[in-house]
Amino acid sequence: MVEEARALTIYWDGTTQDGVDEKIPNPRYLFRSTDNECEAIMSSLLAIKYWKGKFVTVAGINPDYSYGRNNMAAFVAMLKRFNIDHKVVTEQWPKVGTMDLTSHVAALKAAKPDLIFSSLLFADLPVFMKQAHAAELTKDAKLVFPAAGWQHTLMKKEFTPEGMLFGHNTLYFANPNASALAKEFVAWYAKTYNDYPEWEADRAYFALASYKQAVEAASKAKNGSWPSQDDVIDALAGLSIESLGGKSSWRKDHIAEQTFVQGLTTHNNNYDFVTLGNFETMFASELQKPPGANFWEWIKTAQFKV
Amino acid sequence: MSAFANILIGGVFHAAVLFLVAAGLQLVFGVQKIINLACGSFYALGAYFGVTFIAYATQFGLSPWLIFPGLVVAGLLLAVVGPPIERMLRSVYGRDESFQLLLTFALVLMFQDVFRFVWGANPRSLDNAYLIYGTINTRDFGVPVYNLLVIAAAITTAATLGALLTRTNFGRIVRATAENRAMAEALGVDVRRIYSVVFTLGAALGTTAGALIVPTAAASLNMAIEFVVEAFAVVVIGGLGSMRGALVGSLIVGLMRAFAIVLYPEFEVLAIYVVVIAVLLLRPAGLFGKPVA
């Protein structure tokens, strides 16, 4: 529809593999977010790095739509890619918004997993953590939660353990290495809303700031006159800026590349929720398929840094 | 064995909450012949108000140990929404079910906007309440005491409702009104008042269920719709208007769901509706419902 309407459109999210089957591999007007599976690829790499040889049985609890299904499939594909000896003992698929997860917790507990992979990300995430903590499910299992950062302020210390692999997507509000701009934004946001921003703020900033920069560049190229939509599109493709979460770019095929943050949780902070102790950042070029590639085939042959 | 016990308790807990919502639905239909889709909204209203009520009560020194009774009070206070809504529903008494469904569905949408306006779009929860009463853990079996309190509340409600409807004068009048409104009216029963009281009682069951669930979960915009679908499955299985049906139907749905999640997670929803279809084919009035003449 975007291509039919010929209107420059920037998506800030919504690029699951099954959600955007490459019907239009080289769109002219559409600029899309990074692949949603970047988070799953990064957490797979970190889980292998931290815990290789320390887990065999794997359980999943993921939301029952393409995002959750693709993330779990990507995690398992990555384990196979690295020849990690593993056995998936249960896969739970609660509907988005399910608030009573006690039966899912019981099912996970019955499966006795060494590691639990979950891309729960809505209100059901803190609910799951509460119910899982109460059932002592989180006591011994290694936890890989690539999308947990969307609910970061609700992940209270009383039910969220330390040492859990926790993804903040493209903005970690407490990143000590953040740019002055990001620190200023976080401080302003905290003062204004009495809250701490998550990755949506970074995606929104990237979309607006890159558009602004493209308009300015296109205008400059036309000696200050207002650029056409085609001029802006040409300037936007290949553009790179410093977003709130770090380096961010538009590939020539109009797919975003951004900086992802994941690490292990700690209670050692002044908040009532968990933050990251050890954490790492990875750029999307290391985490998402190249232009035109099939995601699942790409995983089998890609060169990853573990 | 521990795994079985965990699954069983999970299923019974879900059934307990379902029963509280479905009981309100059954009570209202049994007496007023109104199919109230808004019962899910009462449930969500209880959850949202429970969070606010406990937040304020805590500021005024409510002991954490009193959170459970505090939530019961919060749920019961919300019974005040019953009379004005029942007054609105009088316009569809005796009319085609489609009018009732449209009106009560409109209420669902209006309540959703009220929640968004008053409490915002983000989920609201009581973080420190769920584990305040501790957990019972033995080897691989574990259950939060709070879940057991909710189950106990549902059992107490079932027993109290049963006694109220079968052993009190009020219950006899309610049953007479449900059986034959015209005859009850001819015998001097103030049917309007009975309708108002019954609807308020049904609303209070839903709001109390919502308030009680919130420490284990979170109040969110879509919880009204999510739960009403399961509540109607309970009603179809148990039989429209039957309290015993609500109890048995809730247990069937809760346990089917729990065991399906463990044995074949893909069948979580399907398992429930297989039972619904089987009941509709073999016993269209439900397990405890009265066949329509």
Cα separations in angstroms, B83 against A29, A243, A280, B101, B185: 55, 54, 58, 19, 20
Q: pTM higher than 0.90, yes or no?
A: no
- pLDDT bin (cut points 50, 70, 90) of residue A96 is confident
The minimum CA-CA distance between A280 and chain B, rounded to whole Å, is 29
| CB pair distance less than 8 Å for A103 and B262 | yes
Collect all residues from A whose CB is shorter than 8 A from any CB in B. Answer: 90-95, 97-100, 102-107, 109-110, 122-123, 126-127, 130-131, 133-136, 154, 156, 158-159
Looking at residues A233-248, what average pLDDT do you find?
97
Orientation angle between helical segments B2-32 and B243-263, nearest 10 degrees: 150
Q: What is the mean pLDDT of residues B82-106?
A: 91
How many Å from the N-terminal Cα to the C-terminal Cα in chain B? 47
For residue B45, being part of any structural domain is answered with yes
Is B80 inside any structural domain?
Answer: yes
- Suggest the residue from A64, A69, A100 to mutate for an interface test with chain B (most B CBs closer than 10 A): A100
Distance CA B45, CA B47 (A): 5
Task: Let me know if residue B5 belongs to a domain.
Answer: no
- Taking CB atoms and an 8 Å cutoff, what residues of chain B touch A72? none
Of A106, A109, A134, the CB nearest to B131: A134
- Judged against a pLDDT cut of 70, whether residue B102 lies above it is answered with yes
Q: Pick the range with the lowest mean pLDDT from A8-17, A279-288, B38-47, B117-126.
A: A8-17
- Greater model confidence, B241 or A302: A302
- Can you give the pLDDT at residue A52? 96
- Domain total for chain B? 1
Q: Report, as an integer, the average pLDDT of A61-75.
A: 94
pLDDT single digits (tens) B191-219: 999 999 999 999 999 999 999 999 998 89
Residue B28 lies in a domain: yes
For A265-281, what is the mean pLDDT?
Answer: 97
> Could you list the residue range(s) of the whole structural domain that residue B199 is in?
19-221
- For residue B257, give the chain A residue with the closest CA: A103
Residue B40 lies inside a defined structural domain of this protein: yes
Residue A4's pLDDT band, with cuts at 50, 70 and 90, is confident
From the list B7, B123, B127, which residue is nearest A123 (CB)? Answer: B123
Contact B28, B40 (CB under 8 A): no
Least confident of A10-14, A196-200, A219-223: A10-14
**Cβ burial A108-117 (10 Å sphere, 16+ → b, else e):** bbbbebbbbb
**B32 pLDDT more than 90:** no
pLDDT at A91 over 70: yes
Q: CB neighbours of A35 closer than 8 A, spacing ≥ 6?
A: A15, A16, A17, A255, A284, A287, A288, A289, A295
Q: Rounded mean pLDDT of chain B?
A: 91
pLDDT band of residue A68 (cuts 50, 70, 90) is very high
Q: Could you tell me if residue B104 is inside a domain?
A: yes
Domains of chain A: 38-173+258-299 (3.40.50.2300)
> In this predicted model, what pLDDT tens digit does every residue of A113-129 receive, in sequence order?
999 999 999 889 999 99
Task: Check A92 against B261: CB less than 8 A apart.
Answer: yes
CA B267 to chain CA centroid, Å, is 24
What percentage of chain A reaches a pLDDT higher than 70? 97
Q: Number of residue pairs across A and B with CB atoms under 8 Å?
A: 111
Q: Are B253 and B270 within 8 A, CB to CB?
A: no
A195 to chain B nearest CA, in Å?
13
Q: Determine, for residues B213 and A99 on separate chains, whether the beta-carbon distance falls below 8 Å.
A: yes
Task: Pick the residue from chain B with its C-alpha nearest to A109.
Answer: B3
Partners of B140 on chain A (C-beta within 8 Å) are 109
Cα–Cα distance, B213 to B73 (Å, whole number): 14
pLDDT of A147 > 80? The answer is yes
Identity (one letter) of the amino acid at B271?
A
Once rounded to an integer, what is the mean pLDDT over residues B156-173?
Answer: 93
Tell if the CB–CB gap between B3 and A91 is shorter than 8 Å.
no
Contact, A149 vs A275, CB < 8 A? no
Instruction: Tell me how far apart the alpha carbons of residues A102 and A128 are, in angstroms, rounded to a whole number.
Output: 8
* Helix runs in B168-265, H state only: 169-179, 181-186, 191-213, 223-238, 243-263
Residue B275 in any domain: the answer is: no
In a domain, B109, yes or no: yes
Average pLDDT, chain A: 93
The answer, yes or no, to whether residue A29 has pLDDT greater than 80, is yes
For position B257, what pLDDT does the model report? Answer: 93
Closest-CA residue of chain A to B135: A134
Tokens 């750029």 correspond to A283
Check pLDDT > 90 for residue A66: no
pLDDT-derived band of residue A28, with 50, 70 and 90 as boundaries?
very high
Mean pLDDT of the region A40-46? 97
pLDDT score for B227:
80
Distance, CA of A104 to CA of B71 (rounded, Å): 25
Contact B116, B221 (CB under 8 A): yes
> What pLDDT score was predicted for residue A16?
67
Confidence at residue B209, expressed as pLDDT on a 0 to 100 scale: 95
| DSSP-based three-state secondary structure for A266 | strand
Q: How far is B217 from chain A (nearest CA, A)?
A: 5
